[in-house]
Amino acid sequence: MIFAVMMMKWPLSLFPEVKVPTLQETLGAEKKLLLFGRWLSKDYASSTTVQYIGEVRKAHISWLGVPLASMSVTFHRLPMLFRMLKREKPGNKRVKTPWEYENFGKVRRAYGVAADKGYYGAGETGFRLATVATCMYLAYEHLLRLNEVVRTQTGTAADKDPLQWDDVQFWDASGELLGWDTEGRPLGVPSLMTMRMPPSKTDQLGLRQEVLRSPFPKGWENGAALNAAGPAMWRYMRQYPVRRERAGYTPLFRQERTECSARLTKAVFMTAFHKLCRKAGIQYSAYGTHCFRVGGVNRLMDLGATAPQICALGRWQSDCWQLYARRERVRLEGLTAAMSATP
């Protein structure tokens, strides 16, 4: 406890003024941070300890008004301590359990034949479940990270330009753009859905202006290929329309049915996702926010997709993406359609 009280004051006295400290003063300041790190490491993970020390340094910089480097201050022993802590307390490895293709069918069967048409019950609860289910189909088919379609607490690239209702368009077999009725429901006979690709790690500002393409498999209107994202989005937008004058301001996936609702968050998504799983008898504890992306990759591998093709569809940051995806996305529609077909 005495050490904790002392540490409350020590960061303020690392360097009391803006001037180049002596070697002894620098070593003394670093010693305080080393001791602080060792004390924290008794109760906290190595990553948390490193973060706390970093916050102390940043606070001190803000108090001084200048970076420590401008005072010729370099801490050489802190990196060594960080390496030691990470060896002593390595971070937990995240296991990305893939969402299984068959689970979609289990969820639909649990909610009855109405779920085949995108209906999961009345009221706000039914709307939220339908929203999450549609989000799942989209994330699975296009290998999306969940933070690319829902809002997370930590800012991501997708939060810079989140998907809106009018980012989705439908096209007929002749390549003509379909329209909308007065309520905002899509009209016509769709053959393809396109959607603006959300910003991601590979294109953080969305400068490439790429689009995701979801074909409508043959027989979809008669109940075939119920896992296809295009038909799922069509059913969802028909069930819960948004007026076109509001389409540019309404999130694609939102928390409530009202057009002024906030964007769907990770916490709200996971709550509804777990509810869907419980109803279907699916053990959901191992599924995280990347389970649909990983599950989609497994599905593509089962279909015989090549590594460059998977890299292209998943927008991984690699030469495969740079050299292959932009030219070949239309040709990849065959794989996209096959993902929703019955095994």
Asked if 157 and 250 sit in the same domain, the reply is yes
Least confident of 83-92, 207-216, 264-273, 294-303: 83-92
Nearby residues of 269 by Cβ (< 8 Å), 6 or more positions away: 132, 135, 146, 150
Question: End of a domain among 36, 59, 88?
Answer: 88
Q: Do 116 and 30 share a structural domain?
A: no
Domain assignment of residue 320, yes or no: no
Q: Is the dihedral of CA 197, 199, 203, 208 positive or negative?
A: positive
The answer, yes or no, to whether residue 78 has pLDDT greater than 80, is: yes
Give how far Cα 280 sits from Cα of 53, 58, 70, 274, 316, Å: 46, 48, 60, 10, 32
Same domain, 112 and 84: no
Q: Which of 96, 216, 93 is nearest to 145 (CA)?
A: 96
In a domain, 281, yes or no: no
Answer positive or negative: Cα dihedral of 322, 328, 329, 333. Answer: negative
Determine the pLDDT at residue 69: 81
Domain boundary among 57, 88, 119: 88
Domain hosting residue 20, numbered range: 2-88
Residues 128 and 20 in one domain: no
The residue out of 60, 88, 116 marking a domain boundary is: 88
Residue 289 domain flag = no
Residues 74 and 131 in one domain: no
For residue 93, count other CB atoms closer than 10 A to its CB. 6
Q: What is the pLDDT of residues 253-309, one digit of tens each?
A: 999 999 999 999 999 999 999 999 999 999 988 888 889 988 888 888 888 888 778
Residue 228 lies in a domain: yes
**Do 117 and 251 share a domain, yes or no?**
yes
Tell me whether residue 237 is in a domain. Answer: yes
Share of the chain above pLDDT 70, in %: 85
Q: In this structure, are 122 and 264 located in the same domain?
A: yes
Q: Residue ranges of the alpha helices (H) in the chain?
A: 2-9, 23-41, 46-64, 78-88, 101-110, 123-141, 229-239, 266-280, 291-302, 307-314, 319-320, 326-328, 333-339
Residue 45 shares a structural domain with residue 13: yes
Q: Would the pTM count as exceeding 0.85?
A: no
* 160 and 206 belong to one structural domain: yes
Q: How far is CA 179 from CA 14, 131, 183, 244, in A?
A: 65, 22, 12, 10
Same domain, 179 and 30: no
Q: Could you tell me if 150 and 265 are in contact, meaning their C-beta atoms sit under 8 angstroms apart?
A: yes
DSSP secondary structure string, 265-293?
BHHHHHHHHHHHHHHHT---TT--TTHHH
Q: Are residues 22 and 154 in the same domain?
A: no
Judge if 84 and 186 occupy the same domain. no
Number of domains in the chain: 2
